Chain A
Amino acid sequence: MRYKSQKVAYWFFALSMLLLTLQIVYGFVMGFDRIGWQGLHDYIPFNTARAVHTNLLVMWLLSGFMGAAYYIIPEESEHELVNVKLAYIQLIAFALVGVAAIVGYHFNYWEGRKFLEIPRPLDWLVVVDVLTFLGLILATIYAGKKKTTTSLVLAMGLLFAALLYLPGMIWFDNQTMDSFFRWWVVHLWVEGVWELIMGGILAFLLIKITGVDREVIEKWLYVIVGLTFISGILGTGHHYYYIGVGKIWLIVGGIFSALEPLAFLGMALFAVAMYRKGEKKHPNKIALSWTLGTAIVSFVGAGLLGMAHTLPQVNMYTHGTLVTAMHGHLAFWGAYAMIVLAIISYAMPNLTGRKLYDSNRGVLAFWLSNIGMLGMTVAFGVAGVAQVYLERKVGLEFGVVQQEIEVHFVILLICATMFATGICLYLYEFIKYGTPNDEALQLN
Chain B
Amino acid sequence: MLSKSQARTFFLGGTAVTFLIFLGLSWNSLSNEVPKQTHPENLTPQVIAGKQLWEANNCMGCHTILGEGAYYAPELTKVVERRGEGYIKAVLMSKEPWQPRGRKMVAYGFSDEQAMQLIEFLKWIGNTDLNGFPPKPDYQQSTQNTTK
Q: Do A and B bind each other?
A: yes
Q: How large is the interface on B (under 10, 10 to 19, 20 to 34, 35 or more residues)?
A: 35 or more
Interface 1/0s, chain A 148-186, versus B by CB < 8 A?
010000000000000000000000011111011010000
In the complex the two chains form, is B7's CB within 8 Å of A243's CB? no
Q: Is the CB of B101 within 8 A of A400?
A: yes
Does A392 contact B134, Cβ atoms closer than 8 Å?
yes
Neighbouring A residues of B62 by C-beta, 8 Å: 45-47, 50
Write the nearest CB–CB distance from A196 to chain B, whole angstroms: 10
Would A398 and B138 be within 8 Å (CB), given that A41-B104, A50-B61 are in contact?
no
Chain B's closest residue to A50 (CB) is B61
Rounded to whole Å, the gap between the CB of B62 and the closest CB of chain A is: 5
A219 CB contact (under 8 Å) in B4, B55, B73, B131: B4
- Across chains A and B, the number of contacting residue pairs, with CB separation under 8 Å, is 210
* Contact (A113, B55) CB under 8 Å given A234-B21, A242-B133, A247-B131: yes
- The yes or no answer to B84 lying at the interface (CB within 8 A) is no
Nearest CB of B to A173, in Å: 5
Interchain nearest-CB distance for B7 vs A (Å): 4
Contact flags B12-34 to A (C-beta < 8 A → 1, else 0):
00110011011001101110111
- B87 beta carbon closer than 8 Å to chain A: no
CB distance from A188 to the nearest CB of B (A): 9
Within 31-69 of A, Cβ neighbours of B (below 8 Å) are at: 33-34, 36, 38, 41, 45-48, 50-51
Compute how far the CA of A272 lies from the CA of B27 in the bound complex, rounded to whole angstroms.
41
Given A180-B29, A244-B38, A320 and B71 contact (CB-CB distance below 8 Å): yes
List residues 170-222 of chain A with CB under 8 A from any CB of chain B.
173-177, 179-180, 182, 215, 218-220, 222
Complex Cα gap A36–B63 (Å): 17
* Residue A112 CB within 8 A of the other chain: yes
Q: How many Å from the CB of A45 to the closest CB on chain B?
A: 5
Q: Is the CB of B48 within 8 A of A112?
A: no
Check A48–B130 contact: CB distance below 8 A: no
Determine the distance from Cα of A381 to Cα of B103 in the docked complex, in whole angstroms: 21
Chain A residues, Cβ within 8 Å of B135: 316-317, 392
Determine how close the nearest CB of chain A comes to the CB of B45; give it in whole angstroms.
10
Q: Is the beta-carbon distance between A402 and B103 smaller than 8 angstroms? A: yes
Contact with A along B29-60 (1 / 0, CB 8 A): 11011100110100100011001001111111
Contacts of B82-134 to chain A: CB distance below 8 A: 97, 100-104, 106, 125, 128-134
Chain B residues whose CB sits within 8 angstroms of the CB of A50 once the complex forms: 61-62, 70, 72
Tell me how far the C-beta of B96 lies from the nearest C-beta in chain A, rounded to whole angstroms.
12
A394: chain B residues at CB < 8 Å are 137, 139-140
Tell me if A241 counts as interface (CB < 8 A to partner B): yes
Residue of B nearest to A105 (CB): B58
A47-B106 contact in complex given A112-B57, A244-B66, A395-B139, C-beta closer than 8 Å: yes
Known contacts A174-B34, A243-B130; is-contact A38 B104 (Cβ 8 Å) = yes
Cα distance A215–B65 in the bound complex, in angstroms? 48
For the complex, is A283 an interface residue (Cβ under 8 Å from B)? no
Stretch at the interface among A89-97, A137-145, A225-233, A418-426: A225-233
Residues from chain B with a CB closer than 8 A to the CB of A117 are 58, 61
18 interchain pairs (CB within 8 A)?
A: A33-B72, A38-B103, A112-B58, A114-B70, A173-B40, A173-B47, A179-B66, A179-B68, A222-B4, A229-B15, A242-B131, A244-B34, A246-B28, A246-B37, A395-B140, A398-B73, A398-B74, A398-B75
| Residues in chain A within 8 A of chain B (CB atoms) | 30, 33-34, 36, 38, 41, 45-48, 50-51, 108, 110-114, 117, 149, 173-177, 179-180, 182, 215, 218-220, 222-223, 225-226, 229-230, 233-234, 236-237, 240-250, 252, 256, 316-317, 319-322, 324-325, 387, 391-395, 398-400, 402-403
User: Told that A114-B70, A248-B28, A392-B135 touch, could you supply 11 new A-B pairs with CB distance under 8 A?
Assistant: A50-B62, A112-B55, A112-B61, A175-B38, A219-B3, A226-B11, A229-B19, A230-B14, A242-B67, A248-B25, A320-B64
